[in-house]
A and B are shown apart, each in its own frame.
Chain A
Amino acid sequence: MMNLTLKIWRQASSNAQGKMVDYKVSDIDGDMSFLEMIDILNEQLIAKGEDPVTFDHDCREGICGACSMHINGEPHGPEGATTTCQLHMRKFKDGDTITIEPWRAKAFPVIKDLMVDRAAFDRIIQAGGYVSTNTSGNTLDANAIPVEKKNADMAFNAATCIGCGACVAACKNASAMLFVSAKVAQLSLLPQGQVEAKDRVRNMVNQMDLEGFGHCTNTGACSAECPKEISLDNIARMNREYLSASITAED
């Protein structure tokens, strides 16, 4: 059982002034997840009639990407390839002080406390992260179009991105290149995605820039902190794709 001091960013609303507030939690079990530890804190706060800490969460099994928390200076805390919901309290020691902040990026404004607005990612997807297929009921067999095994694997790996935003949170430039490049690669590597590939990459990069994310300086922090270990290969591929699409574009 652990006793911990938490330093948590509290901000009442998007326009309000926020600040770090200290809390104590006691009798924390090492088998609890980080979010369960926050649940305990919130129960204490509710019992005292105080406002509980707002945070994003949904699946609590590492697949939805909701649980954005910047813990002790790293997105999703100290463990590699994990989301906050999959981070266990046994990674901490009795008496530790844990700093918990929201993702910090111009493009991810704080809604309340630890919850940020990640709609910028949705708008990037809307700008081209899809294939325009006719869904008139003539469903085709998935194996009807041959796909090179290597490309299928790379597309699958890119498609494991859960849109959590840890890459943006970790990047010193708040760049969204890892996310966007994964969303471009998962389609452009496959025959169905190649039809719209040129417009897709230009539109998605354009939207990424409009949202106010930073440039990529190739520090690699994104991939190191990504819960799905999305590779920097995707960023290089997007650079190539964007360059050739822009040069050959007629508009």
Chain B
Amino acid sequence: MASSSGLFNSSIGRKVAMALSALFLLIFLVQHLTINFTSVFSEETFNALSHFMGTNPLVQFVLQPILMFGVAFHFIMGFILTAKNRAARPVKYAQFKGSANSSWMSRNMIWSGLFILFFLGFHFYDFWIPEMNYKYIEQNAPVDDRYYEEVVHMFKNPIRVIVYVLAFVFLALHLLHGFQSSFQSIGARHPKYTPFIEKFGKAYSILIPLGFIYIALHHYINQL
């Protein structure tokens, strides 16, 4: 009488799906940071890479939709899991001392995630919507050296810089729990490799967001 509810209707299956979408986003972040970081030292490289990413059909019509799906899947699943988990405790404790047994990051994934989501909306409005408009609505002819100017100009505004910095602080908090958690969710735990995954995850969770913060501050300070 094995269960017939199916893998992805099960609690474990949903967590595996969540972890896979998260691991995909972790890989995407490395790629995104690598390209953005070139803007710190080489205008030409940044323009060339941005032009490639913005015009290559494989990137535009295959990878970009996959990324969109990955992001949407991750936060929608995040909402669903959080709602189900709250429903599993309909009457709350009068006193609940989570700090005695777990990290703040692990208990607040939905809040760090929501701040990242808010940032993503802002980020889309800043870059993606103007970009889509420029390329596909207004149908402008491709100009391959406009990207650097556009990006640097964005970071003139201190409010935007503050939002960016805060978002990446929340991303760091999200990942300080999330990185190793996604390995646990897919069952990847081993006495030899887990300590490495945990250390690597900590380094990743701090260095990657720090890289993005550095870029924003770099361009802001250079324009003061």
A-side residues, CB < 8 A to B, are 7, 9, 20, 70, 72-74, 78, 99, 101, 104-107, 170, 172-175, 198-199, 202-203, 205-206, 208-209, 212-221, 224-225, 232-233, 235-243, 246-247, 249, 251
Cβ of B133 under 8 Å from chain A? no
**B97 and A73: CB pair below 8 A?**
yes
Please give, as numbers and ranges, the residues of chain B lying within 8 Å of A239 by CB-CB distance. Answer: 12, 15-16, 184-187
Which stretch in B87-95, B168-176, B204-212 binds the other chain? B87-95
**B189 and A232: CB pair below 8 A?**
yes
**A214 and B85: CB pair below 8 A?**
yes
**B90 and A106: CB pair below 8 A?**
yes
**B107 and A99: CB pair below 8 A?**
no
Chain A interface main SS type: mixed
**A99 and B94: CB pair below 8 A?**
yes
**B98 and A242: CB pair below 8 A?**
no
Which among B10, B95, B100 is the interface contact of A206 at CB below 8 angstroms? B10
**A224 and B102: CB pair below 8 A?**
yes
Please give, as numbers and ranges, the residues of chain A lying within 8 Å of B140 by CB-CB distance. Answer: none
**B106 and A236: CB pair below 8 A?**
no
- Closest chain B CB from A193 CB (angstroms): 16
Please give, as numbers and ranges, the residues of chain B lying within 8 Å of A240 by CB-CB distance. Answer: 187
| Binary per-residue interface labels of chain B (74-104) against chain A in the complex, 1 for a CB within 8 Å, 0 otherwise | 0000000100111111111111111011110
Knowing A173-B85, A243-B187 are in contact, say whether A219-B2 is a contact too (CB < 8 A).
no
Cβ of B3 under 8 Å from chain A? yes
**A219 and B94: CB pair below 8 A?**
no
Most chain A CB inside 10 Å of its own CB: which residue of B92, B96, B103: B96
Please give, as numbers and ranges, the residues of chain B lying within 8 Å of A205 by CB-CB distance. Answer: 3, 10-12
Which among A74, A170, A198, A215 is the interface contact of B11 at CB below 8 angstroms? A215
Task: Give the A-B contact count at a CB cut-off of 8 A.
Answer: 155
User: With A and B bound together, what is the CA distance between A216 and B91 in angstroms?
Assistant: 19
| Binary per-residue interface labels of chain B (178-208) against chain A in the complex, 1 for a CB within 8 Å, 0 otherwise | 0011001111110000000000000000000
| 10 interchain residue pairs of minimum CB distance | A73-B97, A240-B187, A206-B3, A214-B88, A236-B189, A173-B85, A239-B187, A224-B101, A219-B102, A219-B106
| Binary per-residue interface labels of chain B (8-47) against chain A in the complex, 1 for a CB within 8 Å, 0 otherwise | 0011111110000000000000000000000000000000
**B100 and A214: CB pair below 8 A?**
no
**A173 and B12: CB pair below 8 A?**
no
* B80 and chain A: residue at smallest CB distance: A215
- Closest chain A CB from B213 CB (angstroms): 27
Please give, as numbers and ranges, the residues of chain A lying within 8 Å of B11 by CB-CB distance. Answer: 175, 205, 208-209, 213-216
Please give, as numbers and ranges, the residues of chain A lying within 8 Å of B215 by CB-CB distance. Answer: none
B interface residues, how many (CB within 8 angstroms): 46
User: With A and B bound together, what is the CA distance between A242 and B109 in angstroms?
Assistant: 25
User: With A and B bound together, what is the CA distance between A170 and B100 in angstroms?
Assistant: 10
- Closest chain A CB from B174 CB (angstroms): 12
User: With A and B bound together, what is the CA distance between A216 and B107 in angstroms?
Assistant: 11
Knowing A172-B107, A236-B189, A240-B187 are in contact, say whether A106-B81 is a contact too (CB < 8 A).
no
Which among A209, A214, A215, A232 is the interface contact of B5 at CB below 8 angstroms? A209
- Closest chain A CB from B175 CB (angstroms): 13
Cβ of B1 under 8 Å from chain A? yes
User: With A and B bound together, what is the CA distance between A225 and B84 in angstroms?
Assistant: 23
**B92 and A104: CB pair below 8 A?**
yes
* B7 and chain A: residue at smallest CB distance: A246
Knowing A7-B94, A99-B95, A199-B2 are in contact, say whether A73-B100 is a contact too (CB < 8 A).
yes
Please give, as numbers and ranges, the residues of chain B lying within 8 Å of A105 by CB-CB distance. Answer: 88-89
**A243 and B12: CB pair below 8 A?**
yes
Which among A233, A241, A246 is the interface contact of B13 at CB below 8 angstroms? A246
**A203 and B2: CB pair below 8 A?**
yes
| Binary per-residue interface labels of chain B (123-141) against chain A in the complex, 1 for a CB within 8 Å, 0 otherwise | 0000000000000000000
Cβ of B4 under 8 Å from chain A? yes
**B13 and A215: CB pair below 8 A?**
no
Please give, as numbers and ranges, the residues of chain B lying within 8 Å of A20 by CB-CB distance. Answer: 94
**B102 and A72: CB pair below 8 A?**
no
